[in-house]
Structure 1
């Protein structure tokens, strides 16, 4: 099973929970989390703290970080503003 297939249900749930609303808070949250993910995932991979099997990846990367790493941050960025009271 690929990392994308593992992430897909969470991304779908995040979009449903967010209900297509893209207020300013969600956009800022998405941008911030994706930037932080890009920086810190690349640092962790470069330091050898984590690794990814090549056969489970889509093959796209941002620096050293596979694109699938950004799916988790995107899901959280969509869910948190939507469920905040």
Structure 2
């Protein structure tokens, strides 16, 4: 199995969960914007620190299992894990909040 295939198996259900939670809980543009900003920050940090760790030879990837696309030194496939985290954690957080708390926060935002 390639790294991209493994990343897809992990990322696809997480992305579906995030979309379903956002749709069912009627989360708007503000939630998606916060998630997108968090994703950009986390992905940039991942590229920087993965590249540093690869540069000092802390770990290596089997080249035959990679797409060959790299951002600095970090393989593209390695970005699936932080992307999954930034989608999964807010979705789980939203699912864990009591319904009354969500309704109260909406009323406070839109009096």
- TM-score w.r.t. structure 2 length? 0.71
User: Where does structure 2 lack aligned partners over 5 or more consecutive residues?
Assistant: 23-30, 98-111
By relative contact order (CA 8 Å, sep 6+), the higher-ranking structure is: 1
Alignment-derived partner of residue 55 in structure 1: 64
1:15 aligns with 2:24: no
Q: Take 1:18 and 1:4, find their aligned partners in 2: how far apart are those partners?
A: 20
The root-mean-square deviation of aligned C-alpha atoms, in Å, is 1.4
Q: Take 1:23 and 1:67, find their aligned partners in 2: how far apart are those partners?
A: 23
Q: 8 Å contact 1:25–1:81 — kept in the other structure?
A: no
Q: Take 2:57 and 2:4, find their aligned partners in 1: how far apart are those partners?
A: 22
Residue 28 of structure 1 aligns to a residue whose secondary structure is helix
Q: Take 1:11 and 1:77, find their aligned partners in 2: how far apart are those partners?
A: 11
User: Where does structure 1 lack aligned partners over 5 or more consecutive residues?
Assistant: none
Structure ID, larger Rg = 2
Alignment-derived partner of residue 43 in structure 2: 34
How big is each residue's C-alpha offset from its partner over 1:9-39, in whole Å with a ceiling of 9 and x where there is no partner? Answer: 1111111110164622211211111011011
Between the two proteins, the alignment pairs up a number of residues equal to 85
